[in-house]
Amino acid sequence: MRKEESRESSKPRSGLPEDSGRVVVTAIVINSLNFVFKLGAWLYSGSHSMFSECLHSLADTVNQLILAFGIYKSSQSANIAHPYGYSNMRYVTSLISGVGIFCVGAGLSVYHGITGLYNPEPIESLNLALMILCGSFVSEGGTLLVAYNSVKKGAAKSGMTLLNYIRRGSDPTVNVVLLEDLAAVLGVSIAAGCMALSTYLNSPIPDALGSVLIGGLLGGVASFIIYTNTAALVGRSIVQTAIDDMNQSIESDVMVRAVHDVKGIDMGSGLVRYKAEVDFDGRELTRSYLEKQDLELLLEEVHRLKTIDEFEFFMLKHGENIVDTLGAEIDRIEKELKRRHPEIRHCDLELL
């Protein structure tokens, strides 16, 4: 425990100042402004599509506030109550965000659109609403570009394709922002198209259909977010090539014959927990211990043994020293493995 606490306290703390934190904070500012403008446009026009977009921006703002809390919480150091730290808080808050999008954004948008289809009402001029949607398209597109660049950078750093990086949810908070903003850009396009069609046809039906389509879009995005974060929270293995590289690093050590029952678990935030059963070479271990001894003095000590008690004391002393040597070798191998693979936060090597 002292070793873990010392290592954790020496590790630089991250959080909102890091790349994903800046992406989320930027998204919060932009989406909150979009919500205010869309709310005014909905109150002015009564458009069902604008109502859906207003809910969309509100849901995005609240969800990204939750993500910001998750990023802040995940940066806290491990303690006695949570020995593996809080890195999974990003997945927890991203899952909550997905549920919020599904229940609030998608549910209310579909409900409001269906209500508009069953009870169509004349709508006011949509010119102001369309102007606000154009501004929203630009701002949402800017946030989408920031999130895309962050995800692309993370994928390149992890040696993964962009699609695989998103599918695995390797950086869940930025993934949520990316998917929310992609849905926002598409949603604004749908809303603008349906509102323009309603103006052209002088009918509220296309506008109500736009609300239903936006709700379906949000439902699809939310389902994907829920699925990826649930898979991560259940306990997901890292990619096999990374496990093979870690195994090779251990097996190349002169003290190790083989590794068995290997598990590499993704802890979130690019951190990994590695566990393996290690078959140590007893001869190499003993040879390493003897190299640190004066063999002539050791032989003289053996020759002086006269009784069973003296022989037992001799064996106990050197047996304990060999076990200490084994512990030092395990620490050395773990330290070397973490040096080669900095993403490993916890390394558990068990003797086979």
Count CB atoms within 10 A of the CB of residue 199.
18
Which pLDDT score is estimated for 325?
92
Q: Encode burial over 284-314: b for 16+ CB neighbours within 10 A, e otherwise.
A: ebeebbeeeeeeeeeeeeeeeeeeeeeeeee
Per-residue pLDDT for 235 more than 80?
Answer: no
Per-residue pLDDT for 157 more than 60?
Answer: yes
Q: What is the pTM of this model?
A: 0.70
Which pLDDT score is estimated for 14?
54
Render pLDDT for 130-142 as a digit per residue (tens, 0 to 9): 788 888 888 888 8
Most confident among 19-23, 76-80, 290-294 (mean pLDDT): 290-294
Helix (H, G, I), strand (E, B) or coil at 126: coil
Task: Compute the mean pLDDT over every residue in the chain, rounded to the nearest whole number.
Answer: 83
Question: The tokens of 232 are what?
Answer: 């991560």
Question: The tokens of 223 are what?
Answer: 């389902």
Render pLDDT for 246-299 as a digit per residue (tens, 0 to 9): 999 999 999 999 999 999 888 766 778 899 999 999 999 999 999 988 888 989
Per-residue pLDDT for 107 more than 60?
Answer: yes
Least confident of 92-101, 158-167, 205-214: 158-167
For residue 260, list its beta bridge partners.
277
Half-sphere exposure of 213 (CA within 13 A, CB side): 19
Could you tell me which residue, 157 or 333, shows the higher pLDDT?
A: 333
Which pLDDT score is estimated for 232?
76
Per-residue pLDDT for 336 more than 60?
Answer: yes
> Can you say whether the dihedral through the CA atoms of 231, 235, 236, 238 is positive or negative?
positive
Helix (H, G, I), strand (E, B) or coil at 310: helix
Q: Encode burial over 32-58: b for 16+ CB neighbours within 10 A, e otherwise.
A: bebbebbbebbeebbbbbbbbbbbbbb
**Which one-letter DSSP state was computed for residue 160?**
-
Mean pLDDT across 206-225: 88
In the chain, what is the greatest distance between 2 CA atoms, to the nearest angstrom?
Answer: 111
For residue 278, list its beta bridge partners.
259, 351
Question: The tokens of 156 are what?
Answer: 């390149």
Which pLDDT score is estimated for 103?
79
pLDDT category at 4 given cuts 50, 70, 90 is very low
Could you tell me which residue, 13 or 168, shows the higher pLDDT?
A: 168
Mean pLDDT across 9-36: 71
Contact 123, 211 (CB under 8 A): no
pLDDT category at 16 given cuts 50, 70, 90 is low
Per-residue pLDDT for 7 more than 80?
Answer: no
Mean pLDDT across 321-338: 92
d(CA 167, CA 239): 13
Distances (CA, A) of 162 to 32, 141, 148, 167, 220: 28, 19, 9, 9, 19
> Can you say whether the dihedral through the CA atoms of 323, 326, 328, 331 is positive or negative?
negative
